[in-house]
Structure 1
Amino acid sequence: MPQFRFLFFSLLLLTHTTMAAMAQLKPGFYSRTCPDAESLVREVILRSMIREPRSAASVMRLQFHDCLVNGCDASLLLDDTPNMLGEKLALSNINSLRSYEVIDEAKEAVERVCPEVVSCADIVIMAARDAVALSGGPSWEVKLGRKDSLTASQEDSNQVMPSPRANATSLIDLFHNFNLTVTDLVALSGSHSIGKGRCFSVVYRLYNQSGSGQPDPNMDPNYQNKLDRLCPIGGDGNVTGDLDATPHVFDNQYFKDLVNQRGFLNSDQSLYSGDARTREVVRHFSWDQDGFFSAFVEGMVKLGDLQSDRPGEIRRNCRVVNKPAFGLLKDWRNVIKRVRSS
């Protein structure tokens, strides 16, 4: 009988560790198991913004780059292993995404209070919301209850994530694949209301748009001169420039800049200059900040609803998966042996 109970417990443990991640997401998911989870994450985000204001934009973008690749499962946070190339070094992420250590800090804060309860995937969702709200943007109630993936795929990220060179038409098609509308696309692109971009991502527009050897004609001449000085030919591609005129404040200035042909990235400016479907939404958000905020919240909620159907767990460390199930069973056997011998 004791052996049966141990086997039953082991099977439950194995099932819990590898259960599918398709959870029923809901607000207040941790209200009983870890009621301070959201406030603990918010405190970490606030501290990180005091240390480095740019971290707000970096943290916010983690949700987009995680959720579009096999759902919101924190696969983005996994470090490479000898047997797995993760997503951090994917083409759209390498030398671009930052502030992984902020998520680490939030996870550590939550683990001290509620060990092995709150997923890294949910922390990314909470952190993105807090980064927006603490930058002057809207706040919203996040749905929680995700599991963390057991693997990551650099190949999948390369196939899905758009390039800074992308045009509006290709972005519309990409978002349509995830049941996200044109309004969702434009609103979520408004995440570039805060933060910076690298010269590496803009020299294409400045000196060789569409392989013409000429700059993008959809660029204000004075703004082009400013970018020429910031990002000269042969210059340091890691130098950064502001994505809009108010890079530390989440507002609708980004859309005003696009209307005035002062978008930093091709993927930004193309929303106004490249497709009539997105142009009208950009124009609307440029004068209706409340409308932008409302649409952005709706888009972030939809993005957060993208779930993985792969096995999941609650990682103890966001950068690595937990021990395999057989390792956990071995640990429990050792515990039982020690109990029996005591």
Structure 2
Amino acid sequence: MEKRRRISLRAVVAAMALMLSLGEAASYDGGSSGLSPGYYSKTCSNLEKIVLREVTKKKNETVVTIPAVLRLFFHDCLVNGCDASVLIASHNNDAEKNSEDDDSLAGDGYDTVNRVKDAVERECPGVVSCADILALAARDVVNLAYGPYWPVELGRRDGLISKASDVKGKLPDPEMHVKELAAIFDKNGLSMRDMVALSGAHTVGFAHCSRFKKRLYNYNSTMRTDPSFNKYYAQQLKVACPPNVGPTIAVNMDPLSPVTFDNKYYNNLVNGLGLFTSDQVLYTDVASKKTVEEFNASQDQFFKAFVDSMIKLGRVDVKTGSAGEIRRDCTAFNH
């Protein structure tokens, strides 16, 4: 416990420094989005303490909570904005979470947000949106994994639409190259630098073998294995993921520090240890290579860029004011 307190104090100091160094995004005024870190200061003053408490409990039960919550936030924001539409459950399998592209989302992410929502509702009923809870939880899992801390802009309302058909083509795919990836981020007002910084979230988490087996066994008509793989890493992956491996087998995204949020991801790319095509191409493509090298050389620069990009991501197509609703249950619309 004492160690966690010291980390938290350092995180607050780091956040203050970041506010001074991140330029325009660090003003934390939400720009035209209408968001503000102090949005619930009068209506639910203990909100962030409640979220951190519940997220910490869940993370202590399973470390999968860290990447699961982070990916849930990404998937939510990149599909019709940060409005918690990915949390809606459907009896007809037609909600956003039922899309093929969201199959990879872990149940621990959903469970974490639902637990936090229940705790928040007990103290501040009908006040805090699920979208804001998800944004806070994403920040907290990063910090609990020894990553950066930042003030989260709040004031989002929950969306009223969740359709599986809305997801296709809006999320990065493991086999995409830089041009395709950049197009997705650009549509959401996110730059190449944002894309490379947010990809650094792959420093935590895991991936099922089916997501990258093509690179190992069926790369193209002349080469079975992607030559950009470090050959020793490829051998290790083939042991972990034989050709007939079952659908439940998974490996760490970052083989060096899989449960710590750090800049090792970029070192992995420099050394041919990127697990997905969409990871490794960030280093092999000249359009993104210099940014990878920058983040590999400096964890501080990566952390600053990641915070900047998370704030920008959290502003994508948000619902505020009278738009949307404040869900009583994150898995269902109020009406």
TM-score range, shorter chain: 0.7 to 0.9
Secondary structure of the residue that 1:241 maps to in structure 2? strand
Assess if the C-alpha contact under 8 Å between 2:83 and 2:319 holds in 1: no
Deviation at 1:23, TM superposition (A): 6.1
Match for 1:61 among 60, 64, 71? 71
1:266 — aligned with what? 277
What TM-score results when the alignment is normalised by the length of structure 2? 0.86
Match for 2:102 among 93, 97, 101? 93
Question: How far apart, in 2, do the equivalents of 1:23 and 1:277 lie?
Answer: 30
Identity, % of aligned positions? 39
Deviation at 1:219, TM superposition (A): 0.4
Tell me, yes or no, if structure 1 residue 116 matches structure 2 residue 123: no
Question: How far apart, in 2, do the equivalents of 1:76 and 1:119 lie?
Answer: 13
Q: Which amino acid aligns with 1:302?
A: K
Q: Deviations over 1:132-176 (max 9, x none)?
A: 011000000010001111120211112211211111221112111
Deviation at 1:238, TM superposition (A): 2.2
Assess if the C-alpha contact under 8 Å between 1:231 and 1:237 holds in 2: no
1:249 — aligned with what? 260
Assess if the C-alpha contact under 8 Å between 1:23 and 1:145 holds in 2: no
Q: Deviations over 1:102-140 (max 9, x none)?
A: 100000000000001000000010000000011000000
1:298 — aligned with what? 308
Question: How far apart, in 2, do the equivalents of 1:200 and 1:89 lie?
Answer: 19
Assess if the C-alpha contact under 8 Å between 1:74 and 1:120 holds in 2: yes
1:205 — aligned with what? 215
Q: Deviations over 1:291-315 (max 9, x none)?
A: 0000000000000011246941000
1:12 — aligned with what? none
Question: How far apart, in 2, do the equivalents of 1:145 and 1:211 lie?
Answer: 51
Match for 2:55 among 16, 31, 45? 45
Assess if the C-alpha contact under 8 Å between 1:92 and 1:162 holds in 2: no
Deviation at 1:95, TM superposition (A): 3.6
Tell me, yes or no, if structure 1 residue 168 matches structure 2 residue 181: no
Q: Deviations over 1:204-242 (max 9, x none)?
A: 111112465611110001100000011111111321111
**Pair 1:306–1:218, CA change in 2 (3 A):** same
Q: Which amino acid aligns with 1:249?
A: T
Deviation at 1:81, TM superposition (A): 3.6
Tell me, yes or no, if structure 1 residue 318 matches structure 2 residue 318: no
Q: Which amino acid aligns with 1:321?
A: F
1:235 — aligned with what? 245
**Pair 1:185–1:194, CA change in 2 (3 A):** same
Q: Deviations over 1:77-111 (max 9, x none)?
A: 001144x7112122221143332011000000000
Secondary structure of the residue that 1:149 maps to in structure 2? coil
Secondary structure of the residue that 1:247 maps to in structure 2? coil
**Pair 1:212–1:161, CA change in 2 (3 A):** farther
Question: How far apart, in 1, do the equivalents of 2:298 and 2:104 lie?
Answer: 34
Question: How far apart, in 1, do the equivalents of 2:196 and 2:246 lie?
Answer: 30
Tell me, yes or no, if structure 1 residue 196 matches structure 2 residue 225: no
Rg bigger for which structure? 1
What TM-score results when the alignment is normalised by the length of structure 1? 0.85
2:227 — aligned with what? 217
Secondary structure of the residue that 1:102 maps to in structure 2? helix
Question: How far apart, in 2, do the equivalents of 1:90 and 1:291 lie?
Answer: 35
Assess if the C-alpha contact under 8 Å between 2:158 and 2:319 holds in 1: no
